[in-house]
Amino acid sequence: MIASLLEDVENARPETPAKPPAGNAVHPTRPVPAPRNISPRPVPAPRSKSPMPVSAGGTSAPVVPPRPKSVSPIPTHTQGGTGIHPPHGVQPPNQASADRPYWNIGSFVSEGIGGVKGAIGSAITDIQGYLQIPQQPVHLQETPVSPFEIVPHPAEQHPPAQHTANNPYKSLYPQLSVEYSGPCTKGQLLSCGKFGAGVDLFLKPFGLAVGRHGEFIVSDRGGNRIFVFSNEGEQKCRFSMDCTVNHIAVTKDNHILVAVAKSGSAIMRMYSMEGRPLQQFGNFYKYDESSGIVITPSDHVAITNIAANNVLLFTAQRKFSLKFGSKGAGDKHFNQPRHVTATSKDYLIVSDTGNNCLKLFDKEGNFKRSFGSFGNAHGQLNSPLGIACDSEDNIIVADTNNFRVEVFTVKGGFYTSVVEDTYLIGPDVRPINVAVTTRNNIVVLLYGTGLAEVRIYNWRPNHKGGI
């Protein structure tokens, strides 16, 4: 048996191949290299043909048409498998890509946000229903359109103002249904302006005037700005200047005449109510330090000059006319003449701040009388600043360091006090300027620590003083 197995193995041994001819000798174990003109890399399929594998039947797979740009690959959920299939008309290139989810990110985000909004709205509705919160109607007419508009209180607290014989000023101020409370609010009709560092807020107010149509104009040395408010207290305009602004006056054409300093070109400038520059005057006195300004009934202009302690007069054409006064304590002398006003007969009244008195001059600069002295009793003054005359030629003065507004007759007698104890409004709050409206009401500019505002008070004098 063993001999037959050895014989079978011997017969199954492969034969040794014959040696090739000598001319074409090839190593028996090394493969023949491919020719250099034939690339060993596979030839890629043409772009027009799909690179999908050939099926078992020998036919190529169908070409996948490109997806149109307008077709959004929104996932379609079905039963079985992964549950996600490509959009209708688009076939996956292979099984691996067929299982890849086709998500539309924009649709997913929008649907998610919409769902969150709906959930929040539903939750709010459920909470309101549970707590039984009544729906309050929104009164658009009570929403202020500017930070300076006076918003009336609800009607259930303050009934609408009635136009009665005892209240003839209601027609000019339609928002007078507001009842002010607190210190120095007796007779108050309106207020506007607010202290702050914003561009629409007062920082260092100084000048005060009233326009021909009841506008309230305020000059602010903090930023050298001019503010214009309507007769209802709403801010209409604000503009800045490139020099120091002081007191202001209003011309018969309803233009703003500003006493300026450090302008390098003039001592007064004129602007429209919209802030458009018109003209400038007084080039010879451009280096002086102006303070107060007034336009007389004859259209002359008087400016107080702090640098020389005198008063400068200009004609109706804004040409220099004359000057009077010098530093001192006498009748024809001044010590810091801050403000000036005029009566209906062109008499000039100067607030001599350093001498704590008021001095009256005619239009030629001749001294007539002086009244007031240092003190805190009625008829006495302590650093008087702003000054104005009403339609009856009564003199209203801001008695600054006595924290009040006093009224004198044109002959110098004490009449009454309009506002007293302004320090109760806030720390160091003082009246620094006054003006008179077209309806003969008194406008007061208050300034102190953290407060700056304009207040309008009812004023109906029943006494007329004469020169």
Domain at 188-457, CATH homologous superfamily: TolB, C-terminal domain (2.120.10.30)
Evaluate whether 233 touches 459 at the Cβ level (below 8 Å).
no
Secondary structure in 3-state letters for the chain = CHHHHHHHHHHHCCCCCCCCCHHHCCCCCCCCCCCCCCCCCCCCCCCCCCCCCECCCCCECCCCCCCCCCCCCCCEECCCCCCEECCCCCCCCCHHHHCCCCCCHHHHHHHHHHHHHHHHHHHHHHHHHHHCCCCCCCCHHHCCCCCCCCCCCCCCCCCCCCCCCCCCCCCCCCCCCCCCCCCCCCCEEEEECCECCCCCCECCEEEEEECCCCCEEEEECCCCEEEEECCCCCEEEEEECCCEEEEEEECCCCCEEEEEECCCCCCEEEECCCCCEEEEECHHHCCCCEEEEEECCCCCEEEEECCCCEEEEECCCCCEEEEECEECCCCCEECCEEEEEECCCCCEEEEECCCCEEEEECCCCCEEEEECCECCCCCCECCEEEEEECCCCCEEEEEHHHCEEEEECCCCCEEEEEEECHHHCCCCCEEEEEEECCCCCEEEEEEECCEEEEEEECCCCCCCCCC
What are the boundaries of each domain within the chain?
A: 188-457
CA distance 305 to 337: 7
Question: pLDDT per position in the chain (467 positions), as tens?
Answer: 555 555 654 555 555 555 555 544 444 455 556 555 555 565 565 555 445 544 444 444 555 555 555 444 444 444 444 444 444 444 444 444 444 444 555 555 556 666 666 667 667 766 666 565 555 444 434 433 333 333 333 333 333 333 334 444 444 444 444 577 889 999 999 999 999 998 999 999 999 999 999 999 999 999 999 999 999 999 999 999 999 999 999 999 999 999 999 888 899 999 999 999 999 999 999 889 999 999 999 999 999 999 999 999 999 999 999 999 999 999 999 999 999 999 999 999 999 999 999 999 999 999 999 999 999 999 999 999 999 999 999 999 999 999 999 999 989 999 999 999 999 999 999 999 999 998 999 999 999 999 999 999 998 765 444 44
pTM: predicted TM-score of the whole model, two decimal places: 0.64
